[in-house]
Amino acid sequence: PEDFARNIEEKGMLAESKKSYRSLDTEASGLVILIRSLLNPYDEISNLDTEKALVSLKRLNVVQTEMKALSVKIKNLESEFAE
């Protein structure tokens, strides 16, 4: 009974982790598009909104770090089910 409950809990954690990863991946894609538009190489340098780009880039870095951690967690959980 304890193993069954733990198994259900781990499957829930795996599903939640995958959902969070997909959500972060979507956010990251949007941030990349935004950053590229803010740093348009054809615009005058003085007209670039570097403050917005910097805020977006910092958020992208946080999202990427979270995605890397989730990826490891997902792989670890999946390997437990493969045993």
Is pLDDT above 90 for 5? no
3-state helix, strand, coil in the chain (%, to 5): 90, 0, 10
The model's pTM: 0.85
Residue 80 · residue 10 · CB < 8 Å: yes
pLDDT digits (tens, 9 = 90+) for 7-20: 888 899 999 999 99
Q: Which position has the higher pLDDT, 5 or 65?
A: 65
Through-space distance between the first and last CA atoms of the chain, rounded to whole angstroms: 18
Q: What is the per-residue pLDDT across 23-47, written as a single tens digit (0 to 9) for each? A: 999 999 999 999 999 999 999 999 9
Q: What is the pLDDT of residues 43-63, one digit of tens each?
A: 999 999 999 999 999 999 999
Q: 71: Cβ–Cβ under 8 A, 6 or more apart, which residues?
A: 21
Alpha-carbon distance 23 to 60, whole Å?
A: 13
